């Protein structure tokens, strides 16, 4: 709690799923991280999910001031290339940029240094990141295995 309120925030963390990590249901998910604004409202979160024929994958969710919410990358069901697959047993790096600005806000997500998706031009004034929740605050039923999270950094400037 108590992160310095900045219009632009950069969050980075590393995660690894154990070799035996499973999400048995199509559409099941585990939230790894959640960012909230000063009033405790959801700004964005990073999830690992499972989709049949694709396997384990990561994505971000986002909500603006108009209650518009979406996954990033978006149009997931109709565009399979939008899924970001991940492999159990490997460390992966997530970078998330959030912008809290009226009419110009949004988020961007990178996996292992590759920009995978963004949503911009959203009304996010007042949604600067003030707190960070880690450690699977949301888990679908019957998920098994271990999730490791390490080296978490939140900054007001780009993280090399």
Q: d(Cα 46, Cα 14) in Å, to the nearest integer?
A: 12
Torsion angle in degrees (nearest 10) through CA of 105, 111, 117, 121: 10
Residue partners of 114: CB distance under 8 A and separation at least 6: none
Query: 64, exposed or middle or buried, with CB in 10 Å at 0-12, 13-18, 19+?
Result: buried
Tell me the per-residue pLDDT of 115-135, one tens digit each, with 9 for 90 and over: 988 888 888 888 888 888 887
From start to end of 78-146, where are the E strands?
Answer: 84-85, 91-99, 105-111, 114-122, 131-139
Tell me the per-residue pLDDT of 43-63, one tens digit each, with 9 for 90 and over: 889 999 888 888 899 999 888
Tell me the per-residue pLDDT of 104-116, one tens digit each, with 9 for 90 and over: 888 899 999 999 8
């Amino acid at each position: 709690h108590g992160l310095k309120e900045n219009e632009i925030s950069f969050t980075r963390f590393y995660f690894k799923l154990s070799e035996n990590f499973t999400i048995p249901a199509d559409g099941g998910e585990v939230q790894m991280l959640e960012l909230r604004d000063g009033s405790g409202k959801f700004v964005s979160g990073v999830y690992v999910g499972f989709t049949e024929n694709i396997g384990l994958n990561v994505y971000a969710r986002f909500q603006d001031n108009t209650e518009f919410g979406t996954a990033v990358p978006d149009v997931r069901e109709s565009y399979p290339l939008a899924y970001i697959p991940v492999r159990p047993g490997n460390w992966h790096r997530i970078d998330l940029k959030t912008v809290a600005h009226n009419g110009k806000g949004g988020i961007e997500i990178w996996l292992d240094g590759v920009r995978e998706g963004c949503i911009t031009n959203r009304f996010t004034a007042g949604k600067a990141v003030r707190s960070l929740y880690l450690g699977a605050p949301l888990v679908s039923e019957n998920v098994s295995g271990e999730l490791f999270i390490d080296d978490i950094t939140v900054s007001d400037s780009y993280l090399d």
